[in-house]
Amino acid sequence: MTFTKPKFSHEQNAEFFTTLKKRVNTYFQQTHTATTGDNKMIFKTIFMFSLYLFPYFFLLFGNVDSNAGILALWVLMGFGMAGIGLSIMHDANHGVYSKNKKLNTLMCYTMNLIGSNAFVWKLQHNVLHHSFTNIEGADEDINMPFVLRFSPHQKRRWFHRFQHIYAWFLYGLMTLLRVFVSDFRRLKSYKDMNLIPNPKVFRKELWISISWKIFYLAYILALPMLLNPGHIGIYIVSFLVMHFICGFILAVIFQTAHVMPSCEYPLMNAEGKIENNWAVHELITTTNFSPKSRWFSWVIGGLNYQVEHHLFSNVSHVHYRALSKIVRQTTEEFGLPYNTEKSFFSAIANHARMLRALGTGSLDVAMAKA
């Protein structure tokens, strides 16, 4: 099927984003700061890659014989994988890791290095999720397999009433599914949606994806097993644990930003239009969390400032904390919402409540009454 692109209003609250952009541009001019990542990214890049690669080389050459020691190294790699995705690949994917375009492209491919596909991620994340957040049929992040219901406009099945219990396990499978299933399924889906109109591009990206995944499985599993044939069983189990840790972290960070009681799920009208302009749409469909925790923000690549990220994805996450003051002030002046949770734990709790409401249908009833 061909993708129908939602159209946003250009009339309502048109001055909001114009004013906000002027203030943000003024901030960068007055502070003489580039919108891309700064020198702080150097240490962060070294740290995250070390967290992933040091345990890996220990597995290869460290003569670790105990199952507990082997598992502990893979657990560290799981946190390293998540750190690379959140703090390095994500900025590079938006072209803001560095001023150097070639370096951005190189860092984009860290997605392939950890088993996924950068091309597919760009279409899913940049083109669909960022443009059409929480819009049924357009935002891939809420168009999950039928076992999860992330929107009140999706069909509700009897087992969804338990999704607030089992969703957490499924979150842990996210990156593992990307390695073996999701990237290929999405590549085919984007071709059918005409997001990849050129058959040659589709075939090229398909072979690139297959090649990278073979390389990934060769270095991450085959090589350690070859060098340490006596630990094949624990390696396979630990590989699954590593992906579960990484998948769980990534899923929880991203889903607590949009599948929340404070977020809305606008629908297109018969003409394919959305009531609000794009910037206001991002405000009502996105939630920040834990804004006061500097260390937490550092660890997750500034993605606790999801509102700022969605409004200014062309700016590196190292600037989100400063921009949040400007965004909050401007939304207050225009009488617009600025959704935020005080802590990550409160965000998780409210996300669980939202999953339950979506699963039981209570949210559907509330929307119908409204």
Residue 139 belongs to some domain of the structure? yes
For the chain, the domain total comes to 1
Residue 1 belongs to some domain of the structure? no
Angstrom distance (rounded) from CA 332 to CA 325 = 11
Residue 2 belongs to some domain of the structure? no
The pLDDT value given to residue 12:
78
Q: What is the pTM of this model?
A: 0.94
**Which domain covers residue 95, as residue numbers?**
7-369
What single string gives the DSSP state of each residue in 275-298?
Answer: SS-HHHHHHHT--EE-TT-HHHHH
Question: What stretch of H or E contains 44?
Answer: helix 40-61
Structure token digits, residue 345: 């734990």
Angstrom distance (rounded) from CA 208 to CA 302 = 30
The pLDDT value given to residue 2:
62
Angstrom distance (rounded) from CA 184 to CA 228 = 31
The pLDDT value given to residue 363:
73
Q: What is the mean pLDDT of each run of 10 residues along the chain (370 residues)?
A: 79 89 97 90 95 95 90 97 96 95 94 95 95 93 91 95 97 96 95 92 96 97 92 95 98 96 92 91 97 96 97 96 97 97 97 96 59
Residue 13 belongs to some domain of the structure? yes
The pLDDT value given to residue 82:
97
